[in-house]
Amino acid sequence: LAFARGAPVDSDAAWITRVEAADSQLAEEAATHRDLVVVPLLDTYRAVPEKVLQFYLWAAGTRAKFALKTDDDCFVDMGRVVGGLAARKLYGRPKV
């Protein structure tokens, strides 16, 4: 499981302070769990296609069997995802 995020956009000082605090926590998370991919682009709605592409390019270079893109305002029922993959017998198939 890995998480992708872009760099902050806003120039408001208070916002930058909050983002820097979050970045510090995320850096700790990434060092501990190695599950965070930070892509070098501004985190804006217009940049979503590039962020997704960068995430999948990163995923293609890993040993991951599957990659799933979601967003922070979505809920993924992982039981259904894993069950669906198992029902379709996708485990063990080569990467496409």
Give the dihedral of Cα atoms 58, 64, 67, 70; nearest 10 deg. Answer: -80
- Whole-model pTM above 0.75? no
Over residues 70-87, the mean pLDDT reads 85
Over residues 62-84, the mean pLDDT reads 85
> Which uninterrupted H or E stretch holds 25?
helix 13-33
Q: Report DSSP state, residue 43.
A: -
Tell me how many helices (H) and strands (E) the chain has. Answer: 3, 2
Over residues 25-45, the mean pLDDT reads 78
Is 9 or 18 the better-scoring residue by pLDDT?
18
Q: Report DSSP state, residue 62.
A: S
Q: Give the three-state DSSP class for 6.
A: strand
